[in-house]
Amino acid sequence: MSNRIREAASVVAVSLALAWVTPAQAQGAASVAEELAQMRAQMERMALRIDQLEGQLAQAQASATAASTAAGEAKAAAAEARKAPPVEVSWKGAPQFKAAGGWSFKPRGRLQIDAGTINAPDSTRRFDGFGSEMRRARLGVEGDIPGGLGYKFEADFAGNEVEIADAIVTYQHKGLKISVGQHNSFQSLEELTSSLNTSMMERAAFTDAFGFERRVGLSTQYTAGNLLLQGGVFSDNMSDLPNKGWSTDGRVVFMPKLGDAQLHLAGSVHFRDLNDAATTVRYRQRPFLHTTAERFIDTRAFSASKETGYGLEAAFISGRFHAAGEAFWQKVARPTGLADPTFFGGYAEMGFFLTGGDTRGYKNGIFDRVKPSKPVGKGGIGAVQVNLRYDRLDLSDAGIAGGRQNGFAVSLVWTPTEYTRLMMNYGRMNYDDAQYPAAGGDRSYGVDAFGMRAQIDF
């Protein structure tokens, strides 16, 4: 292109030169030479400018090509983005992310702060008094994976220690659910109900005394209409492994709806092989408050090889009213020549919401969270509930004098919103054969316990 431009410029120059020939004849040779030199300089400047324009044109063409390439790549990326599954974000106390194909993810956690006081007869010299603690401080995640798989992991940081609560992988298909990892074995309505949803700050005495806890294992549950079947094989809590013990648990729940009311009837069986002739067990319980370390009933450690437990459960929910009760028998096999004791625990309770439209939650064979009909922030005061309970624990049998408890408790529960809660409860624990003697050697006396809890979860 530059050569054609130079040729054209030469032709123009020659033509101009010829056009000036006649006038040039009238001028001197020096004048003609000077004009030709000026024309030659102008032509050189024109050629230089042409080269500059050609460079700018080449640069512009390269920029246009790069822009076209970038536009194509952006278009392809946008097309790929349109193909990716959209993420749905909802709110269930915390953000929950769901994507097409069965993926989901949700952070979870809870915070429970307790305070309370214990009042025992002075002559027992159990001067525990006031105490407070971070009862639970849990953080974790849960979600679903395509193919019916799911996961849940939660760690508790209360007490300046890290303890694994749940660590499980699950598989679900229709009414079948299989769980592998650390999770609750199938003992007791009270034990299986989350601490977020219990009617009292402390669960029934027998659940703690008999060592109900999460264990590592494989379990299956199947739901068919109003019937729930649960069973599993477990080792021990992660913090107590490794050891050679193992256990198996089974539970059957019948949970029909009676109009607007919910009925719950269940039975459970527990068997644990300690698998070590030198193993000992110990059953004991605090006086209705976890801030104290005192146990007024205590079997002390004694040799054992096996545990067998049987439980019965009943509950009824109708509008603002609910009632529940359980009974559990724990039989312990001892070495040959020693009598096998059977210990007993149970409770009966009823509760009533003072706020209209509120009821106790129930789902899949356990009590679920309360959802206030008029929560704080939406024109209401939340849900207010009063509960009464009788709590029995008998740890004396077959020569083992662990003591007996007859407890009477009342609680007031305020649920401002679905994920917040404030609780107060008072308990009068009456003991027989208590571990600590009072004045004159008396082992039958009462201990008062008062507690408060502030709770939030997500």
Question: Per the structure, how many domains does the chain have?
Answer: 2
What integer pLDDT is reported at residue 24 of this predicted model?
44
383 located within any domain: yes
Q: Residue 281 has what pLDDT? A: 96
Same domain, 299 and 387: yes
Judge if 119 and 51 occupy the same domain: no
Per-residue pLDDT tens over the stretch 131-162 = 999 999 999 999 999 999 999 999 999 988 99
Q: What is the dihedral of CA 19, 24, 29, 31, to 10 degrees?
A: -90
When the pLDDT of each residue in the chain is averaged and rounded to a whole number, the result is 91
pLDDT at 60 over 60: yes
The verdict on residue 409 lying in a domain is yes
Q: Is the confidence at residue 31, as pLDDT, over 80? A: no
Instruction: Write out the residue range of the structural domain in which residue 64 sits.
Output: 2-83
Which CATH number goes with the domain that contains 266? 2.40.160.10
Confidence of residue 58 (pLDDT cuts 50, 70, 90): confident
pLDDT, residue 278, reads 67
Whether residue 23 has pLDDT greater than 70: no
Nearest 10 degrees: Cα torsion 402, 404, 410, 412: 10
Lowest mean pLDDT among 58-67, 223-232, 326-335, 365-374: 58-67
Q: Which two tokens stand for residue 246?
A: 């193992």
**pLDDT tens for residues 174-224?**
999 999 999 999 999 999 999 999 999 999 999 999 999 999 999 999 999
The residue ranking higher by pLDDT, 121 or 66, is 121
- Cα distances from 188 to residues 230, 314, 370, in angstroms, run 12, 10, 20
Mean per-residue pLDDT, 99-103: 88
Asked if 184 and 324 sit in the same domain, the reply is yes
pLDDT at 16: 46
Token pair 């054992």 in the structure block, residue: 304
Residue 293 near residue 398, CB atoms below 8 Å: no
What is the pLDDT at residue 142? 97
pLDDT band at 93 (very low <50, low <70, confident <90, very high): confident
Asked if residue 372 and residue 274 are part of one domain, the reply reads yes
Torsion of CA 428, 349, 361, 144, to 10 degrees: 70
Flag whether pLDDT at 72 surpasses 90.
no
Least confident of 56-65, 157-166, 214-223, 324-333: 56-65
- Give per-residue burial for 32-66: e unless 16+ CB within 10 Å, then b: beeeeeeeeeeeeeeeeeeeeeeeeeeeeeeeeee
- Shared domain for 270 and 365, answered yes or no, is yes
Q: Residue 233 pLDDT > 50, yes or no?
A: yes
Whether 282 is covered by a domain: the verdict is: yes
* CB within 8 Å of 22: residues ≥ 6 apart: none
Domain annotation covers residue 96: no
Q: What is the pLDDT of residue 82?
A: 65
Does residue 60 sit in the same domain as residue 182? no
* 216 and 324 belong to one structural domain: yes
Choice between 68 and 183, residue whose per-residue pLDDT is larger: 183
pLDDT of residue 45: 81
Model confidence pLDDT, tens digit, residues 263-299? 999 999 999 999 876 689 999 999 999 999 999 999 9
Residues 45 and 120 in one domain: no
Instruction: Give the mean pLDDT of 94-100.
Output: 91
8 and 123 both lie in a single domain: no
- Total number of residues shown for the chain: 458
pTM above 0.75, yes or no: yes
Burial 107-134 (b: 16+ CB within 10 A, else e): ebbbbbbbbbbbebbeebebebeebeee
pLDDT at 83: 64
Q: Which amino acid is at 289?
A: L
pLDDT in tens, 415-444: 999 999 999 999 999 999 999 999 999 999
Q: Look at residue 322 in the predicted model and tell me its pLDDT.
A: 98
